[in-house]
Amino acid sequence: MRQPDLNTDVLVIGAGGAGMYAAIAAAGQGARVLLLDRSLIGRGGATVMAQMTVSAATADRHADHWEYHLADTLAAGRGLCDEGLAALLCEAGVECIEQMAEWRVGWARDGDGLAKVQAPGHDRPRCVYVDVLNTGPAVSRTLRAQVQRIPEIRRLGDMMATEILLRDGEAVGAMALDIASGRCIGIAAGATIIATGGLTRLYERNSASANMAGDGYALALRAGARLRDMEFVQFFPIGHLAPRMIGMDPLMWDPFRYKLGGRLLNAAGEDVFAHSDGYSTTRDVTTHAILREVREGRGSPAGGAFLSFTHVGADALRAAFGPVVDKLAANGIDLTRDAVEVSPIAHYHMGGVAVTREMATDVPGLFAAGEAVGGASGANRLSGNAITEAFAFGRQAGRHAARHAARRPAPATLPAGETLAQAHGPDSNPVALFEALQILMTRHVGPLRSAASLAEAQAGLAALGDALGQAPPGRPGVHDPARVDWLDLRQALLVASAVVQAAQTRTESRGAHQREDFAETLPQWQHSQSQRLRGHDLVLEAVA
């Protein structure tokens, strides 16, 4: 047993869109909140990096209803969405978008209503934005401002949660590593929310920030919670590949396609789709179309497809993206003359912690929100749904965690927990091992998989697990990035194993999971898989 260093009603781990929304909602119920992030508050993770659009069926300009949005979400999910979660996303999402407008996020307007663009998989223009390439920063800034105004929310940056603490099977808080000092901090909480985002840093080519290697999934597993749908990693099909660009985002071509179309071509100059898709095809289908061109020898020189805007006039390009066109020119790219090369890049995770509609996990006192949660998107996510999910699930988790904490206050003492962050192992190079992990996942667990590739991945993960050793290198109690890297790697290896195991078992192709040895989508596989830890073993179960 130990005395807690900090004590709160609701502990929120992760201060992206979901975590900040959860903190605001929990404080709104009268709870004291501790909002903790391994980065600066509101500046780590994916939310601040998101650039484009946010989907919500606000009916101000284009007649719409959240049930139409739900129908599109379910269709994109290829039969695997948890309908209750998907409905929550679509229905509560509308209120959150309106609340964000009241908080002055600055959604772009068109006449009397919100401006909306059409995104792939949506049946009508449904995606709001602040300003192309600036939506995420505006969302983060708005939520940070709200969080700062609420005295009941205490913010703590540079704190990495390393373990959920349990007593009699219930979550009673967490251990965190104060990254700057190397100290381990025990936090007692009435309820704890995991809002740590996704896992795409497991892959070599990704759109992730440094903090997105799946910490939250590992925290949940080790606490006894279930994960679901872990095989479904979304690849963004048109990540920039070549020529080299400096100071520009690899996802930048999506807004170009929103506004201008753009042709996706193979090495022979043929459309990758039999009929030019007009930017309506969902991400899974486009990803696989590009990769099949590459496999069949019709890829671009750098190993992707060409994205061409040469049919769009210089005036139209400048009218839509003037400042960006200048930045491209500085990189030697002239879109009126040259096509660029693009290829799929790991971008989002459909799977995650299994929760109820109240965002409660199987572990009493433990909740989850945002990209950390699995189920709403099934086997494939609609573009624009992730930020809406962060808002809607964050708000829901905050409310329900506060109610739980009101019934069950933070304990006066904490269990000792594992002492890994205080242990001292032999010297090692976790960064090199992490790079090996990323290469392994990219080669063998990308969008196209097979029994052979997944077996290679499984063997590689076992070898990396052996190389990891039992304890982090360096001395405890001092600032040491190598220890943080080791702790990251330990969590990432567990999460990668969950992805591989779920992908091995699903012997069909569906959405983001395509098996080269099982190409069909099979009715008997129209169910999710969930996983939990029993001792050191990951155990997989089917969920109807």
Ligand X SMILES: Cc1cc2nc3c(=O)[nH]c(=O)nc-3n(C[C@H](O)[C@H](O)[C@H](O)COP(=O)(O)OP(=O)(O)OC[C@H]3O[C@@H](n4cnc5c(N)ncnc54)[C@H](O)[C@@H]3O)c2cc1C
Residues tagged active-site = 283
Q: Which is nearer to ligand X, 254 or 293 (CB)?
A: 254
Q: Which is nearer to ligand X, 18 or 57 (CB)?
A: 18
- Interface residues for ligand X in 142-181 (CB under 6 A)? 160-161
Which residue from 8, 11, 17, 31 is in contact with ligand X, where contact means CB under 6 A? 17
Element (H, E) at 54: strand 54-55
- Residue 526 DSSP one-character state: -
Report the nearest approach of ligand X to the CB of residue 381 (Å). 8
Report the distance separating Cα 247 and Cα 245, nearest Å: 7
* Contact flag: residue 51 with ligand X (CB under 6 A): yes
Tokens of 437: 């992990």
- Interface residues for ligand X in 86-145 (CB under 6 A)? 135
Report the distance separating Cα 496 and Cα 494, nearest Å: 6
What's the number of CA atoms in the CB half-sphere (13 Å) around residue 171? 35
- Among candidate residues 388, 379, 4, the one with its CA nearest the CA of residue 172: 4
Q: Which is nearer to ligand X, 12 or 294 (CB)?
A: 12
Contact call for residues 56 and 97 (beta carbons, < 8 A): yes
Q: Which of the stretches 11-19, 27-35, 407-415, 476-484 binds ligand X when contact is defined by CB under 6 A?
A: 11-19
Which residue from 4, 44, 77, 474 is in contact with ligand X, where contact means CB under 6 A? 44
Report the distance separating Cα 105 and Cα 129, nearest Å: 10
Output the furthest CA–CA distance in the chain (Å, rounded): 69
490 conformational bin, left if phi > 0, alpha if psi -120 to 50, beta if neither? alpha
Please list the helix, strand and coil fractions of the chain in percent, rounded to the nearest 5, in that order.
35, 20, 40
Residues that contact ligand X, how many (by CB under 6 A): 43
One-letter amino acid identity for 423? A
Which residue from 4, 9, 16, 256 is in contact with ligand X, where contact means CB under 6 A? 16
Contact call for residues 57 and 100 (beta carbons, < 8 A): no
Q: Which is nearer to ligand X, 52 or 187 (CB)?
A: 52
- Interface residues for ligand X in 369-398 (CB under 6 A)? 370-372, 384-387, 390
243 contacts: CB under 8 Å, gap ≥ 6: 331, 332, 333, 340, 341
Neighbours of 43 (CB within 10 A): 18
- Interface residues for ligand X in 206-225 (CB under 6 A)? 207-208, 211-212, 215-216
Q: Which is nearer to ligand X, 54 or 171 (CB)?
A: 54
Contact call for residues 492 and 206 (beta carbons, < 8 A): no
* Contact flag: residue 45 with ligand X (CB under 6 A): yes
Helix axes 481-505, 215-223, angle to 10 degrees: 70
- Among candidate residues 392, 367, 364, the one with its CA nearest the CA of residue 377: 392
Which residue from 7, 39, 458, 530 is in contact with ligand X, where contact means CB under 6 A? 39
* Contact flag: residue 46 with ligand X (CB under 6 A): yes
Which residue from 196, 234, 396, 528 is in contact with ligand X, where contact means CB under 6 A? 196
Report the nearest approach of ligand X to the CB of residue 77 (Å). 15
Report the nearest approach of ligand X to the CB of residue 120 (Å). 12
Q: Which is nearer to ligand X, 17 or 476 (CB)?
A: 17
Report the nearest approach of ligand X to the CB of residue 530 (Å). 20
332 contacts: CB under 8 Å, gap ≥ 6: 243
Report the distance separating Cα 291 and Cα 294, nearest Å: 5
Q: Which is nearer to ligand X, 15 or 184 (CB)?
A: 15
Report the nearest approach of ligand X to the CB of residue 22 (Å). 9
Site string for ligand X, 223-262 (x = CB under 6 A): ----------------------------x-----------
Report the nearest approach of ligand X to the CB of residue 40 (Å). 8
Element (H, E) at 403: helix 385-407
Site string for ligand X, 454-493 (x = CB under 6 A): ----------------------------------------
For residue 215, CA distances in Å to 7, 212, 330, 352, 490 come to: 22, 7, 38, 11, 9
Q: Which of the stretches 99-107, 195-203, 455-463, 499-507 binds ligand X when contact is defined by CB under 6 A?
A: 195-203
Report the distance separating Cα 139 and Cα 141, nearest Å: 6
Site string for ligand X, 308-347 (x = CB under 6 A): ----------------------------------------
Report the nearest approach of ligand X to the CB of residue 347 (Å). 6
Cα of first residue to Cα of last residue in the chain, in angstroms, is 40
Q: Which is nearer to ligand X, 150 or 406 (CB)?
A: 150
Q: For residue 243, is the peptide bond before it cis, meaning its omega torsion is within 30 degrees of 0?
A: yes
Q: Which is nearer to ligand X, 192 or 509 (CB)?
A: 192
Which residue from 7, 8, 29, 47 is in contact with ligand X, where contact means CB under 6 A? 47
Would you tell me which residues interact with ligand X (CB under 6 A)?
A: 13-19, 36-39, 44-47, 49-54, 135, 160-161, 195-197, 207-208, 211-212, 215-216, 251, 348, 370-372, 384-387, 390
